[in-house]
Amino acid sequence: MSANKYYYLGQSSLLNSLLFLERFAFYGLQTFTYSYLISETMNLYGDDANELLLTFASALLFARVFGGLIVDFLLGPKIAIIVSAALQILGILLFMKETLGMFYLGMFVFILGQCLFSPAILKSIGSVYSDRRQKMDGAMTLSIFAINLGAFLAPRAFRYLELAETFKSGFTSCIICFIIIIGLCFLIKKPTDSSEDIRANQDPDDYRDGNRVNEVIFLSILGLFVYWLFEQLLNRSMENFNYSGFRRSDDLGLLVVMIPALIPLVGYLIFGIIWNRVKFPPLLKIIIGFAAATISIFAAIITMSNSQTDEPTFMTAFLCLNFIGEILIVPIFLSFILQYSPKKLMATYSGIALSMYGFLSMFIGNKIYEGIGDGNYRITTIVAGIGFFFCTLTVLILFLLTRKKNDSSTHLDEF
């Protein structure tokens, strides 16, 4: 079997290109939207602009629940991606009308487009890899790499190429990205007959864990929520310190300054390649991920205690440990959801997962942080560490129970 057929490089690369372009346009838009709102054109106060953008971001995260339902029951993934890009173009055109009323309407239309995109892409990835489940972890990891690449390049490209020198040129650049997405959508192919035949010939118990399907999906969504809840607490604790040692100065080179952004970018690429070539129990990945997140708490506390938060060496160690936790948890849980979801509900479950992972965990995490108190960084960090530790124990117990059932010939697929 050829490498291209085995890894689905054609369709995977196409879907990842769509993710990259969408994120490039989104984060490019983000680089100058605040300036646009407080400019003489829109004439908003800074606090009002911040509140508006925060509401916009929260609505984007929450709306994916409804986007998943629309993808599954009305449009299908390919049409949904085209409609999503078209709606986002329309939203940007409304942004350019230079009135606050049109900006609000543009936000609504843009959110409608955004809520369709991620569930549709995830469903497409799940369909492509439906008969190669062991490759799903690598596929999801490389997809998140494409997202990180777009987020990494967009702010730098927009500033360096002066794409947002005038607001009109910035908006136009984003529109071009979405037009390219629409064009690329016509290259998306449905799963081949051979893939469907493989799935049809599989014993149902070999493909999914019988009655355990809903349990696996629920636990995966819950795992994403819990991880990001505690990660949100940790990020809030470290936000005043995280990048203080990486600010550009005469003593620090450009590469050192870019370390916080390069760690996830390079890491997702490397691990995506590894998971495509090396078979590794997914539950064991998650255990190691939560364990690494727990250890990162100790690294954070040590650096705080020794006043080393401004030292790039110490903070790099913390960021690396924290990232290992993320890369061994987030794509694996998303992979589980796609593997065990019925095909007709892939986008729905993906939308629920993304909303739980993004909106709900952020909302509850901020409430807990505010309840503990803004100045109690150490307490908040310890709470996050305890959460990660108990998650590690829980998944470890589940892994051991699963292995015991396997040894007793009670089949639980691929764990």
3-class DSSP string for 129-196:
CCCCHHHHHHHHHHHHHHHHHHHHHHHHHHHHCCCCCCHHHHHHHHHHHHHHHHHHHCCCCCCCHHHH
Q: Pick the last residue of a domain from 199, 221, 236.
A: 199
3 state DSSP class of 370: helix
Give the total number of structural domains in the chain: 2
Q: Are 225 and 364 in contact (CB under 8 A)?
A: no
* 140 and 227 share one domain: no
**How many residues would you count in the chain?**
415
The pLDDT score that the predictor gives to residue 203 is 38
Which of 352, 349, 356 has its CA nearest to residue 123?
Answer: 349
* 64 and 132 share one domain: yes
pLDDT in tens, 19-56: 999 999 998 888 888 888 887 777 777 778 888 888 88
Residues 6+ apart with CB under 8 A from 161: none
* 147 and 248 share one domain: no
Within a domain: 207 = no
Indicate if the pLDDT at residue 259 is higher than 70. Answer: yes
pLDDT in tens, 132-172: 777 788 888 888 899 889 888 888 887 777 665 677 888 88
Question: What CATH number is given to the structural domain containing 110?
Answer: 1.20.1250.20
* 181 and 256 share one domain: no
* 172 and 263 share one domain: no
Torsion on CA atoms 258, 261, 266, 272, rounded to nearest 10: 180
3 state DSSP class of 387: helix
- Output the pTM of the full model: 0.82
The single-letter DSSP state of residue 382 is H
Q: What is the share, in percent, of the chain residues with pLDDT greater than 70?
A: 79
The whole-angstrom separation of Cα 84 and Cα 63 is 13
Within a domain: 270 = yes
The whole domain housing 273 covers: 212-407
The whole-angstrom separation of Cα 92 and Cα 110 is 7
Within a domain: 413 = no
Indicate if the pLDDT at residue 180 is higher than 90. Answer: yes
Is 107 or 98 the better-scoring residue by pLDDT? 107
Six token digits for residue 175: 């529109």
The whole-angstrom separation of Cα 267 and Cα 316 is 13
pLDDT in tens, 118-130: 889 988 888 887 7
Return the residue matching tokens 């250890």.
295
The whole-angstrom separation of Cα 130 and Cα 79 is 20
